[in-house]
């Protein structure tokens, strides 16, 4: 495949059995943390309470929140509300309101292995437009998952996301994307959601990476602070994220 011009992963990107056991253990904790958030999230909740739930649940499991102090990030989780695309601060003095949509992005390090997933939550009764964005963003993720099979380029996922998002009248963020994840928090490759179907690294059995489409109700232009990322036009944004393993005949979702 390499001789034919394909972009193939390095050997270190193919997980051993021992590595996969560690990654799955990390992912099980990450799922437990997101479940704890799902049980507690509500209108009127201070975002710092979400941060505390993530930190306390993760540490109680003998693990560590991977985002905490990562390249200077000051919190244990990213909580992005409404027009925030990603990396939202779960800070004191910020509260969830009825009608908000919010992405909670959790990442866990356990015994040197990493997992990463995020979910969208609708806070109370949300508008039809907001609900549609949340639902169709998940549909983009599911269409990308349908393309995760060995010996296909990752651009097949990107193309599937674009087809569905554009058909819904939305735009796709390409400044941020998926990434390898397992023995480090962020590994190669960066998965560009601007790739055409024939582009990108070849998916090979044993690879683990995230799929995390960020879909904007309006334009894809962004406004960025030190960490937090917003839609430039103030439109809503949504994201769902899973971590997958490429298998011999398809894929396995290991964190959701």
What domains does the chain contain, in order, with CATH numbers?
11-255 (3.90.230.10)
For residue 256, which of 134, 111, 145, 102 has the smallest C-alpha distance? 145
Phi, psi (deg, nearest 5) at residue 211: -120, 120
pTM, 2 dp? 0.97
Could you tell me the sign of the dihedral formed by the alpha carbons of 194, 83, 85, 97, in that order? negative
For residue 209, which of 249, 254, 159 has the smallest C-alpha distance? 254
pLDDT, mean over the chain: 98
For residue 27, which of 255, 230, 256 has the smallest C-alpha distance? 255
The tens digit of pLDDT for each residue in 209-240 reads 999 999 999 999 999 999 999 999 999 999 99
HEC profile for 199-217?
A: CCCECCCCCEEEECCEEEC
pLDDT at 108: 98
CA distances from 194 to 141, 156, 208 (A): 15, 11, 20
pLDDT at 97: 98
């Amino acid at each position: 495949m390499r001789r034919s011009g394909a972009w193939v992963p390095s050997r270190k990107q193919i997980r051993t059995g021992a590595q996969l056991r560690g990654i799955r253990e990390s992912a099980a904790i990450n799922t437990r943390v997101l479940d704890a958030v799902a049980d507690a999230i509500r209108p009127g909740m201070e975002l710092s309470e979400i941060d505390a739930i993530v930190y306390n649940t993760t540490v109680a499991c003998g693990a560590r929140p991977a985002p905490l102090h990562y390249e200077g990030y000051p919190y244990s989780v990213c909580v992005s509300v409404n027009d925030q695309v990603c990396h939202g601060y779960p800070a004191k003095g910020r509260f969830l309101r009825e009608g908000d949509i919010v992405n909670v992005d959790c990442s866990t390090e356990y015994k040197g292995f990493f997992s990463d997933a995020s979910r969208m939550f609708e806070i109370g009764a949300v508008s039809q437009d907001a609900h549609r964005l949340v639902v169709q963003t998940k549909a983009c993720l599911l269409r990308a998952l349908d393309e995760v099979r060995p010996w296909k380029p990752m651009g097949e996922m990107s193309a599937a996301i674009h087809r569905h998002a554009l058909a819904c009248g939305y735009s796709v963020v390409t400044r941020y994307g998926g990434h390898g994840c397992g023995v480090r928090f962020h590994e190669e490759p960066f998965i560009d959601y601007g790739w055409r179907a024939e582009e990108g690294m070849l998916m090979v059995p044993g690879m683990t990476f995230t799929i995390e489409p960020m879909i904007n109700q309006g334009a894809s232009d962004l406004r960025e602070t030190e960490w937090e990322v917003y839609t430039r036009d103030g439109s809503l944004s949504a994201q769902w994220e899973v971590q997958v393993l490429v298998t011999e005949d398809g894929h396995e979702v290991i964190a959701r």
